[in-house]
Chain A
Amino acid sequence: MKKLSLTVIGLYALFLHAFSQFNAQDTVIYKTKPLALEEVNLVSSYYSQNGNHSAITGGIGDEHVVDFANGLDLKFVAWDQSHNKHSITAGLGFDHHTSASSAYVSSTGASKTGGTRVYPSLDWTVENDKGNTFGFGAYFSTEYNYQSIGLDFHFSKKFSSNSEFNAKVSGYFDKVKLIYPSELIPKAAVVSTTPTYYTTASGRTYLSGGGGYGGEDNVIPSSPRNTFTASLSYAQVINTSLQASLMLDVVTQSGYLGLPFHRVYFNDGTGHVENLPSSRFKLPIGFRLNAFVSDHVVIRSYFRYYQDDWGINSKTADIEIPIKVSQFFSVSPFYRYYTQTASKYFGAYKAHTAADEFYSSNYSLSELTSHFVGLGIHTAPPKGVMNNEHFSSLDIRYGHYTQSTDLNSNIVTFDFTFK
C-alpha cells in the first residue's frame, strides 16, 4: 500500500513537473511577437451636393460639388516582453473633388474646378495587460491651397467599475494659401517687387511675396491657422445590455480662419474678401447611449450640444437602430437632426454694411436646420465575404442630407475590412 502511494505521488509529481515545463515553454512563446499586419481597412465614399449659396460668389451661386474620398489603413500589431501590445496604424487618404463655384475664384469663371487632397497618417498605441493605453499620432494633409500638419498624444485608463477614461490632446498647424478672387487681389501684392507684410483689421499678419501673386519665385503667400484640441471622454457600462459615454472637446483656433476666395457683397454693392476674427473658441459636449433592446435590435443614440464665441449654438440628435437579421448580417436605419443659430458675423448677399468689422456670407455660419437619413448594411460571414477568408467584413452606408438653406446631398460609403 505504501509502495502504491509512493508510486501515485511520484507519478503526480512527474505530471506536475511535465506540465510546469510545458507552461514555461508556452510563456516563452507568447512573450514576444514581432510586428505583423493584422488588419487592412479601405473606406471609399462618393459624395454629391447641390445648393445655391456658394460663399465663393458671395452667398449666391451654384454649390454643386462631387467628392470621391478614399482612405486606406494598415494596422500592424506586436507584443513585447512585458506583454504590452503595440499597434501601429499607417493610413493614406486620397480625395478628389470637383466644385462648380471654384470656377468663379476668377471673375470670368475660368478657374479650375477640380482639386486633389492627399493625407497620410501614422499612429502608435501601446496597450498593457490591464487594457490601459497610451500613444502618439501624426498627420499630414496637402492640397493645392491648403497644407496641414497634425500631432496628438492620447491615453486611456480602465477602472474596475467597468468604466474607462480617455484623453487626447492634438494640435493642427495649417497654412492657407492666399488665393483671392481675381478682382479682389490686394493691389500692393500686384505692384510690389519686394516681400510685404500685411496686417488686417482682425490682427492677423500675412506675407506677400511681392511682384504680383507670385513675386520673383511665383509663389502665392500663405497664412497660418492653428487648432489645439483637448478631448476628454468617460465611458460607463450600466448593465449587460446598456452602456454610455460623455465626451467633451475644448477647441481653440487662431490665425486665418476664413478663406481668402470667399466673397462678401455689402449693401452698397461693393465686393470684399471674407473677413473673420483671428481666434475662435469651441466647446462641444456629447453624450452617447447604446442599448441592446432585444436579442436582435440595438439602439445607438447620440446627442451633442455645441457653443462657440462666434455666436453659434447648435444641437445634434442622432439615432441608429441596427437590426440583426442573422448572426452575420444586419441592417441599420439612421436619422440625424441638427439645428444651429447664426454666427454674429454672417450676413446674406448684400446684407453686410461697410460698418461691419467682420463679415462672411458662408452659409455654414447661418441659422439652419438639417436632416440626414439613410440606411447601412453590415455583413461578416464566417467564411469571409464572397467566400474570401481574408475579406472579413463589408459595410455599406447610404445617406441623404437636406438643409434649410436649400442645400441637399447624397453620400454612399463602402468600408472593406481584410484580415
Chain B
Amino acid sequence: MKNRPPLFLAIAAIGFMLVFPSCVQVKEYQKNKLNDADMVLSSRRSQKNELNFQTYREGSAGANGGKTGGGCGCN
C-alpha cells in the first residue's frame, strides 16, 4: 500500500471543514425531520443481508455498519 493517505480522506476532511462551520443550531423541537426513520445515518436493518453478500462477492468491506469479520463467505 502506498504510504500516503487516501485522496478521499483529504477531500472528506476538506468537505467537512467547509460544511460544518455553516451548521445552524437546531433545537430539539425542530428535529422532527431529522428524527424521521429515513434520515438515520446508518444502513437500514433490512440492508444487513445485502451488505453481507456484497462483502462476500466484492473485495472490500467496512465503513458502512456491515461486518468486517466473522463468517466465511465460502459459497
Contacts and interface: CB of A to CB of B under 8 A. Distances in A.
- Chain A interface size, as a band, is 35 or more
Contacts of A43: 45-46, 48-49
Contacts of A283: 1, 6
A52 to B, nearest CB: 14
A38 interface: no
B64 A281 contact: no
List the 9 closest A-B pairs by CB distance, nearest first.
A227-B69, A305-B8, A286-B63, A172-B69, A284-B62, A284-B63, A249-B62, A45-B49, A306-B60
A415 to B, nearest CB: 4
Give the interface centre of B22, B68, B70 by most chain A CB atoms within 10 Å.
Answer: B70
Given A150-B70, A238-B19, A285-B63, A290 B50 contact: no
A372 B64 CA distance: 16
Interface string A127-155: 00000000000010101011010100000
Contacts of B62: 229, 231, 249, 251, 282, 284, 286, 306
14 contacts: A45-B50, A65-B75, A67-B53, A117-B71, A162-B25, A231-B63, A237-B23, A240-B24, A244-B16, A312-B59, A365-B59, A372-B54, A414-B46, A415-B44
Interface string A49-78: 100000000000000010101010000000
A199 B19 CA distance: 52
B46 A290 contact: no
Contacts of A370: 54, 57-58
A184 interface: no
Interface of B: 1, 6-9, 12, 15-16, 19-20, 22-26, 30-31, 33-34, 36-42, 44-50, 52-54, 56-64, 68-75
A34 to B, nearest CB: 26
Contacts of B30: 240
Contact of B6 (A119, A251, A261, A285): A285
Given A117-B71, A305-B8, A403-B57, A281 B33 contact: no
B57 A364 contact: yes
Interface in A190-249: 227, 229, 231, 234-241, 243-249
A124 interface: no
A407 B34 CA distance: 38
A49 B1 CA distance: 32
A237 B34 contact: yes
Contacts of B34: 237, 240-241, 243
